[in-house]
């Protein structure tokens, strides 16, 4: 059958699937990356590396040097006079030229400056060096206005931005009344700073026009939505945009949407009639793309004396530029993680003149659980309970907000497994009670949760006449293992050696996948590949005159009854091509789905300097079927390291005079390095969640960061007796906490 067949699947509750009957058992194993050899040999082509050796021009973006004001004049004469300069893009549609939320049309470039580093124009030249030099010659006159650069100073002006990733207000019962009458109360406020995505690959784009058609080589996570975004910015039909980005050097949410580099590159290439390359400098990435918002989080817990939560509230204030209504959904896990009949979760937004905030790895939970999991420890101490025991006493039977049954929930199993493996029984019973020389030793733990998300997806699988298979979808791989997982699913379903399955990703001309984000990628795109392979198996069964359930595919052979036939012989020289389509179904709507885990940490804190060192860190996770043990474990390592950074080092420092991010590069924005990270341990518990999708798996990439930072700071408290509610927990704050304790004594 050489034509294309479409097969549609959704996630009704399933029993045994072909994956469970798979004779190869390759799915779930720690298979090496499909694209690994390309990356380590330098043959994986990233965005900026396209069109090497061709006659291209180079762009360098000029940005605003203040955080608030109005552009009055742009003088490009000196820049244009420099030899080798081809053009300066100054256009009414320049990205982020206006912050007016009521204006749906692109504003004049003489519009509002909303943040320091806002892209204003771009110089195009025959070399990168000439473009950079010419950019320094562009004169921009900005009439400054008073800016808002400190969320704490604007918190009283925070307002309800409307619903976003989650409703801005979620309530149940009567929190105020229940909290006021609670036998034990906790009312604490935590703050988290702005953070940078800091992907290894900077934002880059290469634009090429052929007539009215644009090909853009980019580094974006959501191809199917990035195409219409770019088309809208350029004022053209999406049918004229071809986006190509097979390899992406990290994103963490910072490349979910198109960046200024893609719009400027496309405009410049159209104007000068030759391809244009643009790569943002590291400083421009920090100042001109997006960030995770800083937050102010108030957590209140009311409980009975025996540790049953009766009231819980999580109220968050976040900052964003005027007109950008995204808010960091810090309370998203508070909705369902612990029991309590009376609940209140709110999110409010304050307008600030700081780079717009957007989704960053585990938006909501990553910083929200820094607060809730610290608060749970503080409340456990008030009650005289072990932190794990307190959490167990508040394990809900159903989703405590909506009353939906959990599709699966193994939080207690994760805590128990981790406690046993980590040696939780050796935890110091009181702060500052264990010491090794100058070092105070402490243990801490925190729960982890991340709501499971699924997205519609399409994938085309072609079983070729020679018995090899090709998987095609515009799904992306940002270093998470998508190539490998789709290869494994296809090999398992069709009974092929891994080496006989090729995967093509990141091209907008291919069937639309869900893109990389929200930890939905592997299970959503994998489900459409599963559907396509089921369709192929059905065609083979029909050719052999048997039912699909009676067919076994293994080692390039089709077995039905007692007869084994080479697949190539069954095909008869004709390929089978099937497009699989997946959409979340009834089971997704009727159950509450999430991945769960528990983190355990041992720290040593220097009794003289306050320096904290993470000595051990273990994560136990349950995320449904693990599709590739190696890539899943790698994702958890990344989350653990990210969590250490959130706890101890990561913080964007904003100049309160201009909105400049002072530490706008990897020399000063301190992500954890080898010396900061101990030998990490990850335990993946066996689980199948058949309501969560055709593959019975759930997202794990973002789960791994949720709660890690709280486990670290809970351990620091156990070591030192110092609670720091202002992240990150740097040594100066530990020393200040000791000093305050001494003064109080």
Q: How many CB atoms lie within 10 A of CB 164?
A: 16
The sign one gets for the Cα dihedral 191, 194, 196, 197 is positive
Structure tokens at 245: 């980005």
Contacts 24+ apart (CB under 8 A), 420-426: 421/600, 421/618, 421/620, 421/681, 421/683, 422/600, 422/602, 422/616, 422/618, 424/388, 424/600
Q: Which of 576, 536, 561, 638 is nearest to 199 (CA)?
A: 638
Dihedral of the alpha carbons of 300, 306, 310, 312, in degrees to the nearest 10: 20
Structure tokens at 187: 């009312």
Contact 43, 568 (CB under 8 A): no
The pair of structure tokens assigned to 289 is 């793309």
CA-to-CA distance for 390 and 715, rounded, in angstroms?
17
Q: Hey, what's the torsion of the CAs at 623, 629, 630, 633, to 10 degrees?
A: 30
How far is Cα 511 from Cα 505, in angstroms, rounded to an integer? 10
Q: How far is CA 133 from CA 63, 128, 282, in A?
A: 14, 9, 17
Residue keyed to tokens 């990850």: 682
CB-count burial class (<10 Å; 0-12, 13-18, 19+) for 543: middle
How far is Cα 246 from Cα 504, in angstroms, rounded to an integer?
8
The dihedral over CA atoms of 666, 640, 521, 409, expressed in degrees to the nearest 10, equals -160
Q: Which has the closest alpha carbon to 193: 734, 727, 655?
A: 727
- CA dist 490 and 468 (Å) reads 10
Long-range pairs, 556-562, Cβ under 8 A, ≥24: 556/467, 556/495, 556/496, 556/497, 556/500, 557/495, 558/495
Q: Under a CB-based contact definition with an 8 Å cutoff, are residues 363 and 328 in contact? A: yes
Angle at 45 between CA 39 and CA 51, to 5 degrees: 155
**CB contact set of 545 (below 8 Å; sequence gap of 6+):** 560
Token pair belonging to 511? 């069937």
Which helix or strand (DSSP H or E) is residue 720 part of?
helix 708-720
Task: Find out whether 56 and 273 touch, Cβ atoms under 8 Å.
Answer: no
Residue pointed to by tokens 């950019």: 135
Rounded-to-integer distance, Cα 328 and Cα 347, Å: 8
Q: What is the dihedral of CA 701, 707, 710, 711, to 10 degrees?
A: -80
Report phi then psi at 702, rounded to 5. -95, -25
Report yes or no: 667 and 390 within 8 Å, Cβ to Cβ: no
Report how far residue 489's alpha carbon sits from residue 598's, in angstroms, rounded to the nearest whole number.
Answer: 28
Q: What's the N-to-C CA distance of the chain in angstroms?
A: 83
The catalytic residue among 261, 365, 687, 702 is 702
Report how far residue 191's alpha carbon sits from residue 153's, in angstroms, rounded to the nearest whole number: 13
Annotated active-site residue 201? The verdict is no
Query: Do the Cβ atoms of 319 and 151 come closer than 8 Å?
Result: yes
What's the DSSP call for residue 624? B
The Cα 321–Cα 293 span in angstroms is: 10
So which residues are the catalytic ones?
A: 702
């Amino acid at each position: 059958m050489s034509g294309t067949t479409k097969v549609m699947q959704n996630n009704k509750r399933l029993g045994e699937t072909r994956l469970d009957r798979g004779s190869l058992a390759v799915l779930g194993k720690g298979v090496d990356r499909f694209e690994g050899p390309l990356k380590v040999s330098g043959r994986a082509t990233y965005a900026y590396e396209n069109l090497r050796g061709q006659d291209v021009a180079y762009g360098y973006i000029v940005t605003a040097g203040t955080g608030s004001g109005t552009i009055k004049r742009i003088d490009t004469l000196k820049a244009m006079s420099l030899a080798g300069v081809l053009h300066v893009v100054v256009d009414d549609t320049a990205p982020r030229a206006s912050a007016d939320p009521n204006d749906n049309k692109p504003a004049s470039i003489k519009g509002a400056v909303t943040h320091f580093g806002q892209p204003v124009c771009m110089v195009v030249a025959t070399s990168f060096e000439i473009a950079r030099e010419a950019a320094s010659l562009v004169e921009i006159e900005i009439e400054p206005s008073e800016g808002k650069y400190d969320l704490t100073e604007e918190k009283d002006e925070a307002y309800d931005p409307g619903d976003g990733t989650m409703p801005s207000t979620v309530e149940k019962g009567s929190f105020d009344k229940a909290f006021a009458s609670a036998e034990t109360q906790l009312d604490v406020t935590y703050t988290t700073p702005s953070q940078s995505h800091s992907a290894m690959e900077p934002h880059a784009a290469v634009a090429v026009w052929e007539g009215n058609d644009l090909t853009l080589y980019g580094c974006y996570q959501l191809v199917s939505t990035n195409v219409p975004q770019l088309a809208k910015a350029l004022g053209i039909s999406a049918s004229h945009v071809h986006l190509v980005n097979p390899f992406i050097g990290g994103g963490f949410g910072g490349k979910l949407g198109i960046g200024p580099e893609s719009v400027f590159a496309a405009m410049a290439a159209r104007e000068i009639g030759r391809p244009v390359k643009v790569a943002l400098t590291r400083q421009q990435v920090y100042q001109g793309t997006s960030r995770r918002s800083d937050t102010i989080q108030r957590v209140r817990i009311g409980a009975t004396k025996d540790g049953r939560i009766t009231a819980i509230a999580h109220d968050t204030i976040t900052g964003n530029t005027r007109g950008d209504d995204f808010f960091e959904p810090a309370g998203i896990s508070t909705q369902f993680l612990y029991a309590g009949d009376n609940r209140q979760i709110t999110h409010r937004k304050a307008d600030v003149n700081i780079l717009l905030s957007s989704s960053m790895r585990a938006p909501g939970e990553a910083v929200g659980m820094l607060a809730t999991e610290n608060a749970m420890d503080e409340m456990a101490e008030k009650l005289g309970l072990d932190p794990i025991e307190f959490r167990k006493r508040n394990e809900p039977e159903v989703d405590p907000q909506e009353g939906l049954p959990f599709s699966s929930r193994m939080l207690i199993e994760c805590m128990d497994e981790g406690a046993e493996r980590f040696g939780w029984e050796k935890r110091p019973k009181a702060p500052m009670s264990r010491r090794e020389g100058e070092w105070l030793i402490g243990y801490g733990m925190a729960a982890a949760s991340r709501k499971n998300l699924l997205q519609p997806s399409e994938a085309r699988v072609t079983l070729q006449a020679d018995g090899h298979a090709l998987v095609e979808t515009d799904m992306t791989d940002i270093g998470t293992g998508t190539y490998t997982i789709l290869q494994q699913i296809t090999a398992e379903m069709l009974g092929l050696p891994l080496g006989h399955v090729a995967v093509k990703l990141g091209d907008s001309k291919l069937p639309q996948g869900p893109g990389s984000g929200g930890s939905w990628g592997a299970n959503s795109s994998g489900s459409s590949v599963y559907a396509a392979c089921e369709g192929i198996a059905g065609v083979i069964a029909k050719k052999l005159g048997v039912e699909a359930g009676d067919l076994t595919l293994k080692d390039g052979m089709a077995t039905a009854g007692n007869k084994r036939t080479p697949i190539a012989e069954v095909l008869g020289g004709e390929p089978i091509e099937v497009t699989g389509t997946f959409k979340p179904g009834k089971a997704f709507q009727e159950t509450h789905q999430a991945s769960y885990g528990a983190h355990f940490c041992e720290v040593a804190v220097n009794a003289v300097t306050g320096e904290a060192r993470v000595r051990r860190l273990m994560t136990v996770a349950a995320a449904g079927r693990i599709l590739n043990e190696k890539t899943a474990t790698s994702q958890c390592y990344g989350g653990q390291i990210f969590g250490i950074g959130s706890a101890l080092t990561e913080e964007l420092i904003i100049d309160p005079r201009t909105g400049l991010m002072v530490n706008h590069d990897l020399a000063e924005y301190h992500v954890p390095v080898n010396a900061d990270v101990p030998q990490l341990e990850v335990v993946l518990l066996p689980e199948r969640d058949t309501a969560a999708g055709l593959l019975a798996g759930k997202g794990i990439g973002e789960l791994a960061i949720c709660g890690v930072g709280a486990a670290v700071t809970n351990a620091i408290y156990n070591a030192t007796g110092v609670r720091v509610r202002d992240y990150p927990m740097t040594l100066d704050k530990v020393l200040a906490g000791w000093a305050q304790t001494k003064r109080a004594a």
